[in-house]
Structure 1
Amino acid sequence: MDSIKHAVELARAAEAATTPGTLPNAARQDFRSEMQDSKLREVRLNPDHLEKSRLVGHKSKDDGRYYDMLRTEVLQEMDKKSWQFLSITSPTAACGKSLTACNLALSIARLPERSVLLVDLDLRKPMVANYLGLQDGPGILDVLEGRATLSAATLRASIGPSSIFVLPGSTPSSNSSEWMASQSMGTLLHAIKREFRSCIVIFDLPPILLGDDVISILPRMEATLLVAGVGNTSLADMRESQKHLQRTSVVRVVVNKVTEAPPAYYGYY
């Protein structure tokens, strides 16, 4: 009987370990110790800056409740398929996709049995570092071009008792489409899956209708969250976006009530 009980416990532990972003206690402690021993940069996020940036996902009260609900819905859907990679995009600019990506990551980080990596994959207009208030340093483009390692470009950003891993953008690139389809990108994604195997990985992608960047990278993603903006996204934009998203799993569509005028993006208005 003892041997049967032991076998059942091992099977349960193995099943839990295959779910991205959640680990049994012992494994989770090993992972955190491993990350603490690594050379990742450590930063403390400024609450005042987050407030000005409309980042509320780190709060457990009313301000962050919307993102907590989104978090639960997205994670439930991803856990069903053991998905790890979640891409976030929008039909056009100024829909709030980067804001949603940051808030969702901060909300997931508050769960004690979850870890999250936020990757700024909007190579044309990286905004994650600006929203989080991060200082200049190596970013994803430096890794793709071989000027920095993944560990050197990734940092751990903390707010209160929670923390998220961040692979920020760096200088904007005019060769975004080429990088998205490159072998270097494939190698980087494999490295992320290996090095952050216990993390849900959120990729902030460019708007889907402003180039072929998103179309190039979507086959490498497992799930997608589409963010639309009231006043910035037309019904025609949504229909066109859905055509491009037919080959990926859209876990949710978020509609933001954007009131400010959209800024210039990629030279578009």
Structure 2
Amino acid sequence: DAFIAQQMDRMVEATRYATQFLAKQLEEARGKLGESETQLSNFLNANGIIFVTADRNGNPQDIITQQLSIMSEAFLRARSDRMAKESLLTQASVQDAFTLPAVLQSPLIAQLKTDGAAQEGEYRRLSQTFKPDYPKMLALKEKIEENRRQLRTETDRTLASLKVDFEASVRAEKSLEASLTRQSTLARGLAENMAQYNLLRREVDTSRDLYSSLLGRLRETQVSAALLTSNISVVDPAEIPAGPSRPRKGLNLLIACVAGLAGGIGLAFLFEYLDTNIKDTKEVESVLRVPALGVVPSRAAFERMLARRKALEAGPGASTPFALVSHSELPSVFAEAFRNLRTSILYSTPERPPKTLMMTSLQPEDGKTSLVTNLAITLSQLGGSPVLLVDADMRRPMVHRVLSVEQTPGLSTYLTGQADLDQVIVPSGIPNLFVIPAGRIPVNPAELLASARLREAIETLGQRFAYIVFDTGPMFGVSDAMILAGQLEGTVLVLRHGRASRDAAQRAIRSLIAVRARLLGVILNDVDLQANSYGYYDSYYLRPDDSRLAERV
């Protein structure tokens, strides 16, 4: 009840304020309207502007403009009449007068023509019976001559009438033209004042509309004040609730947990679907349908191992390149990974191990050179006949840098005929391992690899070395690897973990099969063993000093 009373008081106060405000505004609008009408009336009287009728849009029209319109129409009619009569006179001067419309339309001329035709017909009929000097023939001929004189006289009178009408129309046109010129002068003078008139007229209309609107609003407010009632009523007295109705925390928490779980699972499946990179050896065998020869730990793991050893020994440690880890870090998990790789390659063919093989990758910087160097080292560790490492990547050679040998003379030197085969074979500094560097970078490496001189060299070297391992360029972008793959007994494809996509790997395998290469399998390089379920490598092959470091940590 108190709220209803308070609401009624507010409504009464608001209505009273609105009435006072509208009354004040209405008074100001009335005064402004009167002032505007007075200014407009004074302006019309001062400039002699008189409005007589309204135009088509309902706006008042002044007498000067109305007279100008009437004179314009009259002038146009007079000009049309003068031009029509002038046309008739022109026709009379250039053609037979009897063909003019005015002559043809004259009843008297038509009657004379009819009478003349009848008389001439009677004369021709009588001429068949009587001679021309017969009295009746002479009388009839006199009538025909009289008829012709009357016809010419009437035709001349019609032509003179046309000329008189033409001259009258010319005078009427000139008179109307002079009047129109004077009226146009008055209208131009009026047009200079119409801009001010329109401004004053719009101000009067605006003031009148505002006054009418305020008056109607004031009357509506007065009627509303007389019928003032409250639209609020008490339906049911309010009761204090025992607890909050919203939010329902338990239900909201349950919905949030279910939605979060479903969203997480959905995102996981989405990311798995969008990620097309090769992740592990199972994918290699299931998607690519080729053997997985092994995995090689990442270079970052190798650097972490060196850092742990340096921290344990508390002194400056020797820097070991990753490409020589099979020689310098024999007990490490990295060397063991390459020994596993060696075993997989040697037993990849049922009849005998491949004697000549090559490694290639999808694209540069996949770690191919480090892998082929370590593989050659592990093969040389078997003892027996020596092993030869050939740097056939003559576009971006790297083997000579890894093994610290001279780049030239090398393979390109031999293939171009500038050196013998024995001159390009150099010791690598590692027992039982020899190397042929790439030599000077040629302009046509693909043609050199496809030459018969290389096939002869492979055959000759196969008699001297137990294994010959080739480092070639990547598959995509150049054709060197595909040219060499068809000449060797085995090809190994290197895929960098997290970088090689399934589509690219499948395209590379199809390309190798197309050149009849013997694909031994795939090596997955740069694998983080701890993050990809290969932790048994890292735990089983720890060095003793690494175990002590782990215990200290």
**Which residue of 2 is the match for residue 167 of structure 1?**
436
What secondary structure, in the 3-state scheme, does the structure 1 residue paired with 2:324 have?
A: coil
Instruction: Give the percent of matched residue pairs that are identical in Structure 1 and Structure 2.
Output: 27
Q: Is this contact kept in 1: 2:408–2:438, CA < 8 A?
A: no
- Check 1:210–1:141 CA distance in 2 against 1; reply closer, same or farther (3 A cut): same
**Which residue of 1 is the match for residue 508 of structure 2?**
241
Higher helix share: 2
Match of 2:398 among 118, 127, 131: 127
Q: Deviation of residue 57 (structure 1)?
A: 1.4
Q: State the Cα deviation string for residues 85-136 of structure 1 (Å, max 9, x = none).
A: 1111011111111111100011111112353110011111111111112234
Q: Indicate whether 1:95 and 2:366 are aligned.
A: yes
* Letter matched to residue 169 of structure 1: A
**Which residue of 1 is the match for residue 335 of structure 2?**
64
**Which residue of 2 is the match for residue 111 of structure 1?**
382
**Which residue of 2 is the match for residue 25 of structure 1?**
none
Q: Indicate whether 1:251 and 2:503 are aligned.
A: no
* Letter matched to residue 355 of structure 2: Q
Q: Deviation of residue 249 (structure 1)?
A: 2.1
Q: Indicate whether 1:184 and 2:450 are aligned.
A: no
Q: Deviation of residue 158 (structure 1)?
A: 2.8
* Letter matched to residue 55 of structure 1: L
* Letter matched to residue 81 of structure 1: R
**Which residue of 2 is the match for residue 32 of structure 1?**
none
* Letter matched to residue 61 of structure 1: P
Moved more, 113-122 or 87-96: 113-122
- Check 1:99–1:183 CA distance in 2 against 1; reply closer, same or farther (3 A cut): same
- Check 1:115–1:252 CA distance in 2 against 1; reply closer, same or farther (3 A cut): farther
Q: State the Cα deviation string for residues 22-56 of structure 1 (Å, max 9, x = none).
A: xxxxxxxxxxxxxxxxxxxxxxxxx967x135421
What secondary structure, in the 3-state scheme, does the structure 1 residue paired with 2:495 have?
A: strand
In 2, the alpha carbon distance for the partners of 1:123 and 1:232 equals 24
Match of 1:139 among 394, 410, 418: 410
**Which residue of 1 is the match for residue 468 of structure 2?**
201
- Check 1:193–1:163 CA distance in 2 against 1; reply closer, same or farther (3 A cut): closer
Q: Is this contact kept in 2: 1:117–1:166, CA < 8 A?
A: yes
**RMSD of aligned residue pairs (Cα, Å):** 2.2
Unaligned runs of 5+ in 1: 1-46, 260-269
Q: Deviation of residue 153 (structure 1)?
A: 0.7
**Which residue of 1 is the match for residue 44 of structure 2?**
none
- Check 1:79–1:169 CA distance in 2 against 1; reply closer, same or farther (3 A cut): farther
- Check 1:105–1:171 CA distance in 2 against 1; reply closer, same or farther (3 A cut): same
What secondary structure, in the 3-state scheme, does the structure 1 residue paired with 2:325 have?
A: coil
In 2, the alpha carbon distance for the partners of 1:226 and 1:54 equals 17
- Check 1:182–1:72 CA distance in 2 against 1; reply closer, same or farther (3 A cut): same
* Letter matched to residue 493 of structure 2: L
In 2, the alpha carbon distance for the partners of 1:54 and 1:85 equals 20
Q: State the Cα deviation string for residues 222-269 of structure 1 (Å, max 9, x = none).
A: 11111011243222210110101222222221111289xxxxxxxxxx
What secondary structure, in the 3-state scheme, does the structure 2 residue paired with 1:89 have?
A: strand
**Which residue of 2 is the match for residue 24 of structure 1?**
none
What secondary structure, in the 3-state scheme, does the structure 1 residue paired with 2:387 have?
A: strand
Q: Is this contact kept in 2: 1:105–1:164, CA < 8 A?
A: yes
What secondary structure, in the 3-state scheme, does the structure 1 residue paired with 2:345 have?
A: helix
- Check 1:202–1:48 CA distance in 2 against 1; reply closer, same or farther (3 A cut): farther
Moved more, 70-79 or 241-250: 70-79
* Letter matched to residue 176 of structure 1: P
What secondary structure, in the 3-state scheme, does the structure 1 residue paired with 2:432 have?
A: strand
- Check 1:213–1:148 CA distance in 2 against 1; reply closer, same or farther (3 A cut): same
In 2, the alpha carbon distance for the partners of 1:120 and 1:109 equals 16
**Which residue of 1 is the match for residue 61 of structure 2?**
none
Q: State the Cα deviation string for residues 192-224 of structure 1 (Å, max 9, x = none).
A: 223x2x411101111112222222222111111
Unaligned runs of 5+ in 2: 1-316, 529-553
**Which residue of 1 is the match for residue 537 of structure 2?**
none
In 2, the alpha carbon distance for the partners of 1:56 and 1:130 equals 15
Q: Deviation of residue 78 (structure 1)?
A: 4.8
Higher strand share: 1
Q: How does 1:210-225 map to 2 (within 5 A)?
A: 210-225=477-492
- Check 1:174–1:258 CA distance in 2 against 1; reply closer, same or farther (3 A cut): farther
Q: How does 1:78-89 map to 2 (within 5 A)?
A: 78=349, 80-89=351-360
TM-score of the pair, normalised by structure 2: 0.36
Q: Is this contact kept in 2: 1:122–1:169, CA < 8 A?
A: yes
- Check 1:83–1:53 CA distance in 2 against 1; reply closer, same or farther (3 A cut): closer
Q: Is this contact kept in 2: 1:53–1:131, CA < 8 A?
A: no
